[in-house]
């Protein structure tokens, strides 16, 4: 399988660099690290290897990169048949590594070269020779009928953003308005999901994870994790857009959705089956994943969360417990995971 898969990748990406990363010529940048921080990280990475580099330079991201808890939603997929997985917007590759360890061949795609270089080094360190790395704009990939699985994890909400993203800077105010596409965020996200759909074989599965627009946390004063503003997730889009322009001098384009709207968007591009799940306390480090159904919410129970430190976080959890356990208000669950079949 591996030689045939590499041949298919080479047909679309005939150029590779000295690190054996397939190149499209389309580059960009999205990272929790600034470009300067990534340059420093790369220097240590070259000398010490990925695990030690993370521990010494960016220890705050060690769990994000290496925690097995991050892979929990992968168990919603059917792993009985080993196949090909495309990880769209793989970043540092935590889910790419998870799928590779489960025996699948993984095509890991991202626009940020520094992240891909880390993943390449990690794959070598972990003896994962079934990860194939591609630098490309995930909105412009041309894979067709090649994958048994597709991963879209924390990616869809960033599809409408065309500029380079250094997360700390992105949260701040712009001196000049950001560049944007003439298409609406919803249209751009739908077009991207069509690209994901086209990449899958018949009966292929997509796993998508994203925040719930109506998470109880946002109503309790947690800032929008993409815009760093209050209430913009659930307010009408036009009002959120106005707020973003006033405070950040840029339009509001990081659209997230309710459970039903997210399911509707997925089905609109052609998926024939859709299983929807609630994720607690978030999809990044899930402690509990339940079906989004009357029966599913009956299974809600207390769960540990070591990151619940401040009084505000504790109050939010107790409120969540009350509205989920006793009122069964699943609509306000924190995060969405969807497994859709072509």
Instruction: Please write the tens of the pLDDT for every residue from 275-320.
Output: 999 999 999 999 999 999 999 999 999 998 777 889 999 999 999 9
Determine which helix (DSSP H) or strand (DSSP E) holds 9, and give its type and residue range: helix 2-12
Domain span at 49: 2-158+180-215+254-341
Domain presence at residue 228: no
CATH number, residue 21: 3.40.50.150
User: Burial of 236 by CB count in 10 Å (0-12 exposed, 13-18 middle, 19+ buried)?
Assistant: exposed
Shortest CA distance to 70 belongs to which of 278, 277, 284, 335? 284
Residue 254, pLDDT above cutoff 70: yes
Domain presence at residue 324: yes
Domain presence at residue 232: no
C-alpha to C-alpha distances, 342 to 92, 94, 204, 213, 265, nearest whole angstrom: 27, 24, 5, 25, 14
Q: What mean pLDDT, rounded, does the chain reach?
A: 95
Q: What is the pLDDT of residue 309?
A: 86
- How confident is the model over 78-133, as pLDDT tens digits? 998 899 999 999 999 999 999 999 999 999 999 999 999 999 999 999 999 999 99
Q: What is the pLDDT of residue 18?
A: 96
What percentage of the chain carries pLDDT values higher than 70? 98
Q: If you average pLDDT over residues 151-157, what whole number do you get?
A: 98
Determine which helix (DSSP H) or strand (DSSP E) holds 8, and give its type and residue range: helix 2-12
Residue 170, pLDDT above cutoff 70: yes
User: For the chain, what is the domain count?
Assistant: 1
Contact yes or no for 40/47 (Cβ under 8 A): no
- How confident is the model over 129-153, as pLDDT tens digits? 999 999 999 999 999 999 999 999 9
Domain presence at residue 186: yes
Q: What is the pLDDT of residue 181?
A: 67
Whether the full predicted model's pTM is greater than 0.75, yes or no, is yes
Domain presence at residue 233: no
Residue 177, pLDDT above cutoff 80: no
Domain presence at residue 236: no
Q: What is the pLDDT of residue 62?
A: 97
CA 45 remoteness from chain centre: 24
Distance CA 72, CA 61 (A): 18
Domain presence at residue 323: yes
- Tell me the pLDDT band of 178, cut-offs 50, 70 and 90: low
């Amino acid at each position: 399988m591996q030689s045939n898969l590499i041949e298919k990748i080479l047909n679309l990406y005939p150029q590779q660099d000295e690190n054996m990363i397939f190149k499209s010529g389309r580059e960009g940048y999205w990272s929790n690290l600034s470009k300067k921080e990534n340059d420093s990280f790369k220097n240590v990475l070259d000398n010490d290897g990925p695990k030690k580099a993370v521990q010494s330079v960016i220890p705050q991201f060690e769990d994000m990169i290496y925690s097995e808890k991050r892979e929990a939603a992968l168990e919603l997929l059917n792993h009985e048949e080993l196949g090909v997985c495309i990880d769209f917007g793989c970043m540092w590759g935590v889910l790419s590594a998870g799928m590779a360890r489960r025996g699948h061949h993984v095509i890991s795609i991202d626009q940020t070269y520094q992240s891909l270089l880390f993943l390449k080094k990690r794959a070598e360190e972990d003896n994962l020779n079934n990860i194939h790395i591609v630098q490309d704009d995930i909105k412009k990939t041309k894979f067709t009928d090649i994958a048994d699985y597709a991963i879209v994890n924390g990616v869809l909400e960033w599809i409408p953003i065309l500029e380079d993203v250094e997360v700390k800077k992105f949260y701040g105010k712009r001196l000049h308005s950001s560049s944007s596409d003439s298409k609406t965020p919803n249209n751009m996200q739908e077009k991207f999901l069509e690209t994901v759909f086209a990449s899958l074989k018949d009966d292929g599965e997509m796993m998508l994870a994203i925040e719930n627009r109506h998470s109880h946390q946002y109503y309790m004063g947690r800032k929008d994790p993409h815009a760093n503003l209050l209430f913009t997730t659930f307010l009408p889009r036009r009002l959120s857009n106005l707020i973003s322009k006033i405070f950040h001098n840029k339009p509001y384009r990081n659209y997230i959705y309710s459970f039903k709207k997210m399911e509707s968007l997925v089905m609109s591009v052609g998926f024939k089956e859709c299983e929807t799940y609630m994720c607690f306390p978030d999809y990044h480090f899930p402690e509990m994943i339940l079906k989004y159904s009357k029966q599913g919410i009956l299974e809600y129970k207390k769960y540990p969360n070591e990151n619940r430190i401040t009084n505000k976080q504790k109050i939010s959890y107790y409120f969540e417990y009350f509205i989920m356990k006793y009122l069964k208000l699943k609509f306000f669950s924190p995060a969405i995971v969807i497994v859709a079949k072509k």
